[in-house]
Amino acid sequence: MTKIIDKCELFEKVHQFKIETPHLVSKAKAGQFVILRQNEMGERVPMSIGGLDKENGILTIVIQEVGKTSASMNRMKIGDSFADVVGPLGLPTNIEKYGNCICIGGGVGIPPIYPIAQALKEAGNNVTTIIGARSKTLLIYEKELGDASDQLLISTDDGSYGTHGFVTTILQKMIDDSEKIDMVICVGPVPMMKAVVETTREPRIKTFVSLNPIMVDGTGMCGACRVTVGGKTKFACVDGPDFDGHEVDFDEMTKRQKMYIKQEKISYDKFLHDGCNVNKQIEKLNK
């Protein structure tokens, strides 16, 4: 079953879904992802896991409307079902006792850091979480991450809440203050992950990044999610999504992420103008 049992708007164009997928949830671990299709004609969309309710078999995902399919998904209602939700995919985050861990989430990259912070805490680590958003109204998962962490630190780009600046403003201050940091893991926009990695490079702090390149099959067959790590080709869907941040070629990843921007825009504009014609296509096929 892949029924939406709860849905809410976190802020404009960003919705949180709770989906009934007991079998998937029983196997899933922090750091993994799923691939959803809205209907049988639909695009396969990779989504990070934003929460795992093992007791009730409920998966949480957060969808940001950035194109046609995410816009269409965000119009689904409680009681609707996704055609399929495949997973768990990818390797789980390497959870062990590191000592003092810093979990960093930026923008809509904040929800996936939540199960990771929970798992690191459960493994006996001291967890400090840093979350950042452009403004206070765009800040999500404050309560969840406050509960999951020993310490929660917040930044906003415009200074409307918490520290004025980026997540790296807080991280840099911790390093300057000689706080003991044994491991950093971050999820968010590529420029943020690149900036985190540059902040921890010189003090040689082990830093993991969760990469989200374009994906198609999610099983290592198509090559779409190719990234270069330590000079070697890796596939984020099967070798990741977590990698040693100091080894990632972010410039190549940024270029590859922008490969279909024009086509995505045309498709999104058409959707906003004409609506989705997938249901009509399915009707035609079924005739």
Q: Is 101 in the site for ligand FES (CB under 6 A)?
A: no
Residue 48, binding choice from ligand FES, ligand NAD, none, Cβ under 5 to 8 Å by partner class: ligand NAD
Given a contact cutoff of 8 angstroms between Cβ atoms, the answer to whether 210 and 187 are in contact is yes
Residue 25, binding choice from ligand FES, ligand NAD, none, Cβ under 5 to 8 Å by partner class: none
At position 112, the amino acid (one-letter code) is: P
Given a contact cutoff of 8 angstroms between Cβ atoms, the answer to whether 101 and 120 are in contact is yes
CB neighbour list of residue 176: distance below 8 Å, 6 or more residues apart? none
Q: Which of residues 38-77 bind ligand NAD (CB under 6 A)?
A: 48
The correct pick among 88, 90, 132, 245 for binding ligand NAD (CB under 6 A) is 132
Phi then psi for residue 235, to 5 deg, are: -110, 115
> Tokens 């399919």 map to which residue?
69
The correct pick among 168, 200, 234, 236 for binding ligand NAD (CB under 6 A) is 168
The correct pick among 157, 182, 217, 247 for binding ligand NAD (CB under 6 A) is 157
Shortest reach from residue 64's CB to ligand NAD, in Å: 7
Give the residue from 178, 127, 129 showing the smallest Cα distance to 152.
Answer: 129
Q: Is 223 in the site for ligand FES (CB under 6 A)?
A: yes
Q: Is 215 in the site for ligand FES (CB under 6 A)?
A: yes
Distance CA 153, CA 188 (A): 16
Q: How many CB atoms neighbour CB 94 within 10 A?
A: 11
Which of these segments, 2-10, 18-26, 94-102, 210-218, binds ligand FES (CB under 6 A)? 210-218
Distance CA 194, CA 196 (A): 6
Site string for ligand NAD, 169-208 (x = CB under 6 A): ------------------xxx-xx--x-------------
From the number of C-beta atoms within 10 Å of its C-beta (0-12, 13-18, 19+), residue 151 rates as exposed
The correct pick among 166, 235, 243, 250 for binding ligand FES (CB under 6 A) is 235
Distance CA 263, CA 46 (A): 18
Which lies closer to ligand NAD via its Cβ, residue 133 or residue 205? 133
Shortest reach from residue 110's CB to ligand NAD, in Å: 8
From the number of C-beta atoms within 10 Å of its C-beta (0-12, 13-18, 19+), residue 81 rates as middle
Give the residue from 184, 185, 153 showing the smallest Cα distance to 170.
Answer: 153
Q: Which two tokens stand for residue 121?
A: 């805490």
> Tokens 């003090």 map to which residue?
203
Residue 217, binding choice from ligand FES, ligand NAD, none, Cβ under 5 to 8 Å by partner class: ligand FES
The correct pick among 225, 229, 248, 253 for binding ligand FES (CB under 6 A) is 225
Which of these segments, 16-24, 74-82, 127-135, 224-232, binds ligand NAD (CB under 6 A)? 127-135
Q: Is 216 in the site for ligand FES (CB under 6 A)?
A: yes
Residue 225, binding choice from ligand NAD, ligand FES, none, Cβ under 5 to 8 Å by partner class: ligand FES
Work out the widest C-alpha separation in the chain, in whole angstroms: 69
Provide the binding-site residues for ligand NAD, judged by CB under 6 A: 48, 106-109, 112, 132-134, 155, 157, 166-168, 187-189, 191-192, 195, 210-212, 241
